[in-house]
Amino acid sequence: MNSRDSLTALADELEAVADKLRSDAVDSEEAADHVERCAETAARLGAELDARARGAAESEGQERLL
Domain count, the chain: 1
Provide the pLDDT for residue 61: 59
CA distances from 8 to 14, 24, 37 (A): 10, 26, 17
Query: For residue 54, what pLDDT is reported?
Result: 87
Classify residue 11 by its DSSP letter: H
With CA atoms as reference, report the closest residue to 33 among 16, 21, 15. 21
Which range of residues forms the domain containing residue 45?
3-65
d(CA 44, CA 41): 5
Res 62: pLDDT:
55
Which tens digit of pLDDT belongs to each residue from 13-66? 989 988 988 887 889 999 999 899 999 989 999 998 998 888 877 766 555 555
Residues 29, 57: Cα–Cα separation, whole Å = 42
State the pLDDT at residue 6: 87
